[in-house]
Structure 1
Amino acid sequence: MINRLAGQAKGLVQSRLTAAEINRRQVPAFRTTDARAGTPTVYYLAPDNPQPSGGVRVIYRHVDLLNDLGIPAYVMHKDPGFRCTWFANRTPVVAAANATLGPADVLVVPEWYGPGLAAIPAGPRLVVFNQRAYDTFDHIPYADTRPGAPYADLPGMTALLAVSHDNVELLSHAFPDIPVRLTRNVVDPDVFAAGGWPRRRHIAYVGHRRADERDQLLHILRSRRVLDGWEVTRIAGRTEEQTAEIMRDCAIFLSFSDREGFGMPPAEAMSCGAYVVGYPGLAGREFFDPAHCAPVPDGDLLAFARAVEQACASWAGEPETLASRAGAASAAIRDRYTVTGLREDLTAFYRPLLATG
């Protein structure tokens, strides 16, 4: 009896949490018009999240670059006056209630809004910016939806954008009738500038992924006395500049990436010259070169612990080798994930699209 009541209570709590999460993911209301007057404009919807979020940072960068290219673009938030302040920006921002979108305009919606996409009114052309393809079907019930959900039946559905080759392939396989295009991520070389070596005994990680595995790993490392003399820093709630400063200071960065759209933290740590150990998170395989870092098979806690122990031993016994590998990773990231590359991707996608408005 007690177990049954406990199970019912747990189910009720979970149901309420799910309902609250779905409510958060509803697309805010905006006006539409049939008029085609004026220059086509691109609106990137973004959640009103005051906390650091790599995905929202990418949205702001897209809008900045589009305006630099002469393409009018805005970040569209729900609440009037909201803008992200955890990084410096002068990005054009508009409240949803103050925006009017016509058939020549483009509405770009993150995959995070999946449960609310069906409520988007007909009018603008729709692009889904899917930065986490492995979360595409979160809160999308299989039994209550049609084939191709959540994208196939949306009015104005035009294309999907993704930020890694891994995610492009997954989305292309899942939605063979919808074009999928790559828009490369950018690791800002001015913010995530390479730091020098030698570095002190400092290990850092970003704390919002795989919390249980992370704690188990730290227990194992401490039990084996691997962490003796090392400072361990959890990066959370920091600005871009503060995060980069920690990454430039640490010798070793632990990656807990999990089914990522790209995996920005380890890429940023590499750019800063830290030696990265850990999970590539599937999409990160495109930059986790084993010649420059220590990728670990997904979920292999023992391999992770051994790789960290080896990295700490290398720091003590052959630091020049560790420094050389970290430096090569930094150069590779800074050469590959550039503003120039993203500008080329945005131009290739938006110029033809807007020309047919």
Structure 2
Amino acid sequence: MNSDLQVKPLVRFLCIPDVDDRPIGGVKQIYRHVEHLCALGWDAAVLTETQGFKPSWFASQAPTISISNAHSLGELSSSGCILVLPETFISTNLSCILGYDLSKLPTVVFNQNAYYTYGQIHEGTALEIQRFYDNAQLLQVLAISEDTHAFLSRNLGLSDVMLSRIINAIEPTFVNDHPKSDLIHWMPRKNPEHVQAILLGIQRIQLKYGQGWQAAPLFNLSHSQVADRLNRSRIFLSFGHPEGFGLPIAEAMASGCYVIGYSGGGGRELFGFGTSQEINFGDWTSYLTAIKDVLIRFTEQPREMAFLLQRNSHAVRNLYSFDQERQSIALAWERIEQAFFSWREYQ
């Protein structure tokens, strides 16, 4: 370990329980964040329940270490370690995480969905928010979208110096250079009753130019398989709500898909590129109208649609690139490092 790494505190992202039975986008982003930190010279790792655990549905070079091993190695010390917490841990008792007391560590909150910030609202929520976000040990809050940043600033009253924007990068496997087929895809996990309502509507109405189109959910697939499907399809239906960012929307746009559906709030910044139609949550009539209209456009203006989708793909992939993500992470962690040493002086 070189002298620079010895000066910097360790960074450990708490990511428990170990879940591998379904894709969870926020988990993947934790691993990507750790990869960037390691490349930037930080000693960063994901804290897991079991030594050696990694989700199997995406590939990652991020180091992992079990909480028990990290404790045995003396890593979980307030004088030399920063604990990064997901926003969902607002009501978690940090003094007993798998039997270990992590409550004394300085923290960073990685807020990937503003709408999970309150957890399950109850009479003690105000106190939980105060303990989580007004704690002197909190060094910084990372926000992954314009919407999440606005929520944390306006709804929680967090000051600008406590907030850092992080760019969520689109994986380079999502590209618009494959032959396209008349395919419509969607993610089935969120709001399945809305999915069924739209599918029932499609079956009932006579869609002009709908003949020959096929529709299928993206279910039980690895991340690379999802990319392959989107790269070959023309339309993506978004049913996610609420969303912290809406990475599936960005990935579909990068793949050259026309996107119709819910922004979930966090994905609203993506719907300004012109080859998409945001639908208000629950507005099934407008949803079906948008599908009908875009099928007409694909049939009557195929070259113009291909041109617009190619430009949109290029714009989205540049704005949400790995370079943009790394720059945002580097800037945020410069602030966090300064805050850590300032905090430690007064301990």
Fold shared, TM-score > 0.5 on shorter chain: yes
- Residue aligning to 1:343: 326
Preserved CA contact (<8 Å) 1:259 1:282: yes
TM superposition shift of 1:140:
4.5
> Partner amino acid for 1:59?
I
- Residue aligning to 2:3: none
Secondary structure, aligned partner of 1:101? coil
Q: CA 1:144–1:238 in 2, change beyond 3 Å: closer, same or farther?
A: closer
The root-mean-square deviation of aligned C-alpha atoms, in Å, is 2.0
Distance 1:45 1:160 in 2: 15
Q: CA 1:196–1:289 in 2, change beyond 3 Å: closer, same or farther?
A: farther
Secondary structure, aligned partner of 2:196? helix
Preserved CA contact (<8 Å) 2:118 2:129: no
1:54 pairs with one of 6, 25, 30: 25
Aligned pairs for 1:201-216 (under 5 A) are 201-216=182-197
Distance 2:336 2:181 in 1: 50
Preserved CA contact (<8 Å) 2:51 2:64: no
- Residue aligning to 1:151: 132
Distance 1:61 1:147 in 2: 28
TM superposition shift of 1:98:
1.3
TM superposition shift of 1:81:
2.2
Aligned pairs for 1:19-168 (under 5 A) are 39-47=8-16, 48-50=18-20, 51-99=22-70, 100-103=75-78, 104-117=80-93, 119=95, 121-143=102-124, 145-146=126-127, 148-149=129-130, 151-152=132-133, 154=135, 156-168=137-149
Aligned pairs for 1:193-208 (under 5 A) are 193-196=175-178, 199-208=180-189
Distance 1:293 1:286 in 2: 12
- Residue aligning to 1:253: 236
Distance 1:257 1:172 in 2: 23
TM superposition shift of 1:117:
4.7
Secondary structure, aligned partner of 1:94? strand
Structure 2 length as normaliser, TM-score?
0.86
TM superposition shift of 1:155:
6.0
- Residue aligning to 1:185: 168
TM superposition shift of 1:154:
4.3
Distance 1:285 1:61 in 2: 23
Secondary structure, aligned partner of 1:49? coil
Secondary structure, aligned partner of 2:132? coil
TM superposition shift of 1:187:
0.2
1:232 pairs with one of 215, 227, 235: 215
Q: Which ranges of structure 1 fall in alignment gaps of 5 or more residues?
A: 1-36
TM superposition shift of 1:295:
1.8
2:261 pairs with one of 274, 278, 281: 278
Q: CA 1:348–1:117 in 2, change beyond 3 Å: closer, same or farther?
A: farther
Distance 2:127 2:289 in 1: 46
Q: Which ranges of structure 2 fall in alignment gaps of 5 or more residues?
A: 1-5, 96-100, 342-347
> Partner amino acid for 2:19?
N
Preserved CA contact (<8 Å) 1:76 1:93: yes
Q: CA 1:230–1:315 in 2, change beyond 3 Å: closer, same or farther?
A: same
Preserved CA contact (<8 Å) 1:44 1:108: yes
Structure 1 length as normaliser, TM-score?
0.83
- Residue aligning to 1:221: 202
> Partner amino acid for 2:316?
I
Distance 2:129 2:238 in 1: 33
Q: CA 1:94–1:271 in 2, change beyond 3 Å: closer, same or farther?
A: same
Preserved CA contact (<8 Å) 1:186 1:338: yes
